[in-house]
Amino acid sequence: MLRSALAFVIGLLAFGPFANAQEENDKFLFTRQGCDPFVEVIDVMSGKYGEQPLFVGEGLQFGLQGQVYTGGAMFLVNQNTGSWSLIHLYGDGTACVTAVGTQFEPYSGPTKKLEGEKG
């Protein structure tokens, strides 16, 4: 119990400056991502959660100090259970789990027509 309380207090002290930054500018969200070699991440997502790649793309990640990291993104889904994961892929073979969730289903709501789009 003492360890938990101590960890909680240390956590508050460590994130105090971030809380002030959040109050000053609500446009930033500080997160922690789990990163491992790509093969290990895919093994966990497919083995433990039964998720398979649904789509891939290229994108950017922004670091805490404004650094820009280019890389790929992969969205994995288990269409039977509805679990999903978004991972980012980097040139050195690292993959970082950016977000995970449940209740995946195709979007069927309204969409805005783009200029020049027919229909």
pTM of the full predicted structure?
A: 0.65
Ramachandran quadrant class, 49 (left: phi over 0; alpha: psi -120 to 50; beta: rest): alpha
More confident position, 79 or 25: 79
Q: State the burial class of residue 104 (Cβ atoms within 10 Å of its Cβ: 0-12, 13-18, 19+).
A: middle
Between 55-59, 88-92, 107-111, the lowest mean confidence (pLDDT) is in 107-111
Alpha-carbon Rg of the chain, whole angstroms?
19
User: Across the chain, what does the average pLDDT equal?
Assistant: 78
The predicted structure's pLDDT at residue 33: 78
Specify the range with the lowest mean pLDDT, choosing from 14-18, 58-62, 65-69, 94-98: 14-18
Cβ-proximal residues to 104 (8 Å cutoff; 6+ apart), any chain: 77, 78, 79, 82, 83, 84
Contact 21, 48 (CB under 8 A): no
Token couple for 108:
């069927």
Write down the residue that tokens 């790649």 correspond to.
53
